[in-house]
Amino acid sequence: MDLASLNAFIAIAETGSFSLAGERLFLTQPAISKRIAGLEQQLKVRLFDRLGRVVSLTEAGRALLPRAYQILGVLDDTRRALTNLNGEISGRLTLATSHHIGLHRLPPLLRAFTRAYPQVALDIQFLDSEVAYEEVLHGRAELAVITLAPQTREPVRAVAVWDDPLDFVAAPEHPLAANGPITLKDVAKHPAVFPGGNTFTHHIVRRLFEAQGLTPNIGMSTNYLETIKMMVSIGLAWSVLPRTMLDEQVARLPLEGIQLRRQLGYILHSERTLSNAARAFMTLLDAQADLAPAAAKQLP
């Protein structure tokens, strides 16, 4: 079975488009179509239904997809295992991370890593934490440094590195910031700007409101915390931000008895062989976690 054709098959299955798959693999659409035609001829089944511009997997395609991931995963695993034998820390390290962590947590570690291991080519992908999780799960990234889910299931393993307290914030002139101690019920009456509904942070905050039988008034959403901070600072809404982002542009709301936090850390696929480069980067992350022992624990 041709591995290039399997890569094309996976790209189409994930993007739902021959043209988008071609862009991902730097191939023309006719070249992508030729690879799929060859694969279908070899397997003697149709893998995609093409109805106008809509491309969907057939039953045979759905059966092949997990096996295609497995085949390519085993090949990558074997390649890494053989490369590791020489003990060198070199090659390419594909690292996924969220925009916030990539901007505010990783720069010192990346600087130290590139100085210590100049032979490693870093491929850093800035993705939402939830998307980065899928990249690790399907073997497209060796490591992801992200906001950790409350629970992580095998074959993905999570290791906490940073404890990240979250604070309710508003513009300094916002009514919520000027009335002294307030309750969650008071906050729920005002418009909010939240991270997208698919994010781990959104679920953490929403569960807090639901526990008190409340529904936040979410008027806007974006996955970029810097954009949320800007919207809050000009008085459009309140929100929840990492404490590390607070400055004079926003005011911490005086909500008594409420403490929100999330864990930031890294995830890996427990059934895959890691490259020497990935292991070296994990050592740096673990050393960072050792600076805050309470956060340095493996999550369930």
Residues 37 and 100 in one domain: no
Residue pair 251/177 in contact (Cβ under 8 Å)? The answer is: yes
Residues 104 and 251 in one domain: yes
Q: What is the pLDDT of residue 91?
A: 87
Least confident of 90-94, 178-182, 210-214: 178-182
Best CA proximity match to 165, nearest among 51, 220, 225, 245? 245
Q: What is the pLDDT of residue 181?
A: 85
Residues 154 and 251 in one domain: yes
Q: What integer is the mean pLDDT of 197-203?
A: 89
Percent of the chain with pLDDT over 70: 97
Predicted confidence (pLDDT) at residue 298 exceeds the cutoff of 70: no
Q: What is the pLDDT of residue 292?
A: 62
More confident residue, 296 or 44: 44
Q: What is the pLDDT of residue 72?
A: 87
Residues 193 and 276 in one domain: yes
Q: What integer is the mean pLDDT of 255-282?
A: 92
Mean pLDDT of the chain: 90
Phi then psi for 89, rounded to 5 degrees? -105, 95
Query: Helix or strand or coil: residue 261?
Result: strand
Residues 123 and 55 in one domain: no
Where residue 127 sits, what CATH number does that domain have?
3.40.190.290
Q: What is the pLDDT of residue 277?
A: 94
At a CB cut-off of 8 Å and minimum separation 6, what does 209 contact? 184, 188, 215, 216
Residues 54 and 150 in one domain: no
Decide which of 81, 112, 146 is a domain's last residue. Answer: 81
Enter the pTM of the model.
Answer: 0.74
Query: Which residues on adjacent β-strands are paired with residue 111?
Result: none
Range of the domain at 28: 3-81
**Which of 48-57, 204-213, 286-295 is modeled with the greatest confidence?**
204-213
Predicted confidence (pLDDT) at residue 189 exceeds the cutoff of 60: yes
Structural tokens at position 205:
């905050």
Predicted confidence (pLDDT) at residue 290 exceeds the cutoff of 70: yes
Residues 96 and 74 in one domain: no
Residues 72 and 189 in one domain: no
Q: Over the stretch 60-70, which tens digit does the pLDDT of each residue have? A: 999 999 999 88
Q: Over the stretch 7-38, which tens digit does the pLDDT of each residue have? A: 999 999 999 999 999 999 999 999 999 999 99
Domain count, the chain: 2
Residues 124 and 102 in one domain: yes
Q: What is the pLDDT of residue 256?
A: 83
Residues 199 and 274 in one domain: yes
Residues 154 and 252 in one domain: yes
Decide which of 65, 81, 97 is a domain's last residue. Answer: 81
Q: What is the pLDDT of residue 299?
A: 43
Residues 153 and 192 in one domain: yes
Q: What is the pLDDT of residue 297?
A: 44
- In the structure, what pLDDT confidence band is assigned to residue 217 with cuts at 50, 70 and 90? very high
Where residue 77 sits, what CATH number does that domain have?
1.10.10.10
Decide which of 81, 107, 135 is a domain's last residue. Answer: 81
Q: What integer is the mean pLDDT of 83-107?
A: 88
Predicted confidence (pLDDT) at residue 192 exceeds the cutoff of 80: yes
Q: Where are the alpha helices (DSSP H) in the chain?
A: 3-15, 18-25, 29-43, 59-84, 99-104, 107-116, 129-137, 175-178, 184-188, 200-211, 225-233, 276-290
β-pair type (239-242, 156-170): antiparallel
